[in-house]
Amino acid sequence: MSQHPAVSNDLDTATHVQTTIGVPELDPFFDRGLITRIHAKLMSGKEATVYCCRAHPATRRRFLAAKVYRKHAASAHKWAPEYFQGRERVLKERTIRAIRAHSAFGKTVAAGLWVDAEYSNLCRLASAGASTPVPVARAGRAILMEFVGNGAGPAPHLDGVSLDRASAERLWGQIFGDVKLMLREHLVHGDLSPFNILVWDGDARIIDLPQAVDARFNNAAPRLLERDLRNLATFFGRSGLEVDVPRTFVDLWTRYQRGEL
């Protein structure tokens, strides 16, 4: 196994190793000359841990974010029919049964699909011009992507940002534009809320996309889209912005079905 610098907690000025705990899932990124140091663990959840890494000068970036999924990353509720439908098109029947039975083999396969889905969705949306982190590389259960933030730390989530009415209107317009762009690419986030939107330099960036569903093959897509819009409307309503969710949803979905987005 490759030996590389371990985690350091200061994003901007770290000069020495502060822990002996390595992250072997990130070794391929060191070996490929994409990162030179792991500076901080940014967050650790049920499905993944995210690190801030010093980028290799060749990448022309200062920092990169590395998201390492757990071995059994896809939580059970995310593989309910509303999220799973459409993905089975590329799977063998035996694999589908294992995933639905939550067997050890099924969980391992599901986790792999989860990582595949996030990376492919990021690539797809970055190419389309959506405001999501730009993917850099994928290795096993890890994804290396654009870091949203600076040396002082990562960008805050939308839920932690105070907005006046004008700022709320501008951010809503941008986020809704991205929701529309995603739908034009046949994707519905499916879990969109102020907790998986970052705000940096006044702009919003949508993150956490493994559960996004393909609107062409998933019957739950309309309901998930309306729920995403309602989550956003509830948040922006705190700043005095009123969004007619039923009308907005019907107009958006109708335009999508007609190919007018």
The three-state secondary structure class of 66 is: strand
Amino acid at 179: V
CA distance 255 to 261: 6
CATH 1.10.510.10 domain extents, the chain: 155-261
CA 224, chain centre distance (Å): 16
Amino acid at 114: W
Among 184, 196, 182, 205, smallest CA distance to 132 is for: 205
pLDDT in tens, the chain (261 residues): 444 444 444 454 443 333 335 799 999 999 999 999 998 999 888 888 999 999 999 999 999 999 999 876 655 455 677 777 777 776 677 777 777 777 777 777 777 788 889 999 999 999 999 999 999 999 999 999 999 998 888 999 999 999 999 999 999 999 999 999 999 999 999 999 999 999 999 999 999 999 999 999 999 999 999 999 999 999 999 999 999 999 999 999 999 999 999
Among 73, 76, 32, smallest CA distance to 50 is for: 73
CA distance 229 to 226: 5
Backbone conformation region of residue 201, classed left if phi is above 0, alpha if psi is from -120 to 50, else beta: left
Q: Which CATH number fits domain 155-261: 1.10.510.10, 3.30.930.10, 3.30.465.10, 1.20.140.10?
A: 1.10.510.10
What is the side-by-side strand order in the sheet with 35-44?
A: 35-44, 48-55, 63-69, 142-146, 135-139
Fold held by 1-154: Phosphorylase Kinase; domain 1 (3.30.200)
pTM: predicted TM-score of the whole model, two decimal places: 0.85
pLDDT at 3: 43
CB atoms within 10 A of CB 216: 9
Among 190, 188, 207, smallest CA distance to 50 is for: 207
CATH 3.30.200.20 domain extents, the chain: 1-154
Burial 73-101 (b: 16+ CB within 10 A, else e): bbbeebbeebbbbbbeeeeeeebeebbee
114 CB-contact burial (10 Å; exposed 0-12 / middle 13-18 / buried 19+):
buried
